[in-house]
Structures are given as structure tokens and as C-alpha cells.
């Protein structure tokens, strides 16, 4: 009966997508990202001078409307290069390739800030479901699922020691009026916060951890304790 209720309310959609995203992707790439960023920084010390930005910056547009080309989404975002690939045998696929793209983000003073950034790809599935009659997924349900997906990914990663300090989650709602540089400004806000964190550490201060552009409280989710992801076990089961 509870399973049927969950199915009708579609509560299982966001949770399933979040856990699949973590187990099938984030848990694989994030522990390897730091080393890849360090290698790139040694070869290009001027591009990644701030070690606090050596993270994968993951975009969560709550509309779920994702542009496959970030440069087309915002002209202030320019692709620079790809980081070192990770190649693994995965689910019968030999030499499956995982890689991240490094971008230059241009600010209002024409200064370039560099970081690895990409969208949370499962949001594309939520968007596609809302466009498919078979899924019977309304725009309102899509928004709630996008919020729940973000919250679930956030909670999972908080409990993952393997992925600690290797990511930055950037959730946001697009403005109603067209804004051609909204995405770049969202990313820049986080990059500046990371720079402030590094400066504070170098000066011996203890910076407050900045919240994401839309933190968990602002997402206004009505989630019971039982709905939240359970802590990750470390005993191998």
C-alpha cells in the first residue's frame, strides 16, 4: 500500500534519480577529480591559482531546462579544454570514458575565472518526463521533483567521505524575464565565495561555509524524516 502511495505521488522518482546519479556517476568521478585538477594546475598555474575552486561545479536549474552547450546558454561562458579522462570498464562497457570540461567565466570587469562546470544531467530526465504523456508529469510536479532531487543529492554527498570537498552544488531558479548572463553570474558568485574561503584560511581565519544560491531552507520542501536519504554505511554492505 505504501509502495502504491509513493508511486502515485511520484516520490520515488527524484530519490531514484539522485541515488543513480551518485552511485553511477558522482561516486566514480569525484574522488578522482582532485588529482586531475592538481595535474592541470601544475601545467597551467595561472588558470587554477585558487585550490578551493578545484571542484566540479554542478548546476541545478530547477526548471530542468538544460542547454547541452553551456556556451550557447551564456556567452560569458567559454570552453577552454577538457581535463584528463578517467577510463573504466563499466557494466560490460570496456574503456568507458568519464571526463569534465574546464570553462572560463567572464565577469563584469572582463576578468576570466576558470572552473570545471556541468549540469546535473538527471534533470534532463525530469524535463523529458514532463513532456511525455505516458509519464503524466505536470510542470508543478517537475518543480517539486527537481527540488527533491537537489536535496537528496545534497544529503547523499554530505554523507560521502569519498566525495568530500570535490564538488559545489549550484541550485537556482531562472528569472521570469530573459537574462542572457544569469548562469555565468550564478557560477561567479560561487567562485568568489571559494576565493574568499581560501583567503580566510591563508590568513588563519575560520570562514563560514557559504550556502548555495538557493539553500535547502529556501527550497521550501515538505519532506518528512523518513523521506530523507539514509546515512551511507562504511562497512561494505
Tens-place pLDDT, residues 154-209: 999 999 999 999 999 999 998 877 788 999 999 999 999 998 887 776 666 654 44
Q: pLDDT higher for 136 or 155?
A: 155
- Quick check: helix, strand or coil at residue 220? coil
Q: What percent of the chain has pLDDT over 90?
A: 48
Show the beta-strand stretches assigned E in the chain.
56-61, 77-82, 86-90, 93-98, 101-106, 112-119, 167-172
Cell readout for 213 is 544560491
Residue 25: half-sphere exposure toward Cβ, Cα within 13 Å = 17
Q: Is the pLDDT of residue 68 over 60?
A: yes
Mean pLDDT of the chain: 82
Q: pLDDT higher for 34 or 77?
A: 77
Q: pLDDT higher for 61 or 235?
A: 61
Q: Is the pLDDT of residue 144 over 50?
A: yes
Across 10-19, 99-108, 157-166, least confident range: 10-19
CB 71 within 8 A of CB 77: yes
* 8-204 placed in CATH 3.40.50.920: no
Across 73-77, 112-116, 134-138, 186-190, least confident range: 134-138
pLDDT of residue 138: 78
Amino acid at each position: 500500500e505504501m509502495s502504491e502511495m509513493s508511486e502515485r505521488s511520484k516520490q520515488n522518482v527524484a530519490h531514484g534519480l539522485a541515488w543513480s546519479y551518485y552511485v553511477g556517476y558522482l561516486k566514480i568521478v569525484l574522488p578522482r577529480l582532485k588529482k586531475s585538477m592538481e595535474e592541470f594546475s601544475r601545467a597551467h598555474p595561472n588558470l587554477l591559482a585558487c585550490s578551493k575552486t578545484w571542484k566540479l561545479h554542478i548546476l541545478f536549474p530547477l526548471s530542468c531546462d538544460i542547454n547541452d552547450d553551456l556556451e550557447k546558454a551564456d556567452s560569458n561562458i567559454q570552453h577552454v579544454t577538457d581535463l584528463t579522462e578517467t577510463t573504466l570498464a563499466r557494466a560490460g562497457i570496456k574503456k568507458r570514458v568519464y571526463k569534465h570540461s574546464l570553462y572560463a567565466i567572464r565577469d563584469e570587469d572582463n576578468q576570466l575565472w576558470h572552473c570545471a562546470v556541468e549540469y546535473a544531467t538527471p534533470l534532463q530526465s525530469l524535463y523529458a518526463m514532463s513532456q511525455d504523456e505516458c509519464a503524466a508529469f505536470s510542470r508543478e510536479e517537475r518543480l517539486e521533483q527537481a527540488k527533491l532531487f537537489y536535496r537528496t543529492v545534497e544529503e547523499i554527498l554530505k554523507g560521502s567521505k569519498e566525495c568530500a570537498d570535490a564538488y559545489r552544488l549550484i541550485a537556482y531558479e531562472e528569472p521570469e524575464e530573459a537574462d542572457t548572463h544569469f548562469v555565468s553570474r550564478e557560477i561567479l558568485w560561487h567562485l568568489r565565495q571559494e576565493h574568499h574561503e581560501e583567503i580566510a584560511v591563508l590568513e588563519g581565519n575560520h570562514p563560514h561555509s557559504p550556502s548555495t544560491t538557493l539553500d535547502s531552507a529556501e527550497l521550501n520542501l515538505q519532506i518528512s524524516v523518513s523521506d530523507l536519504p539514509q546515512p551511507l554505511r562504511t562497512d561494505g554492505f
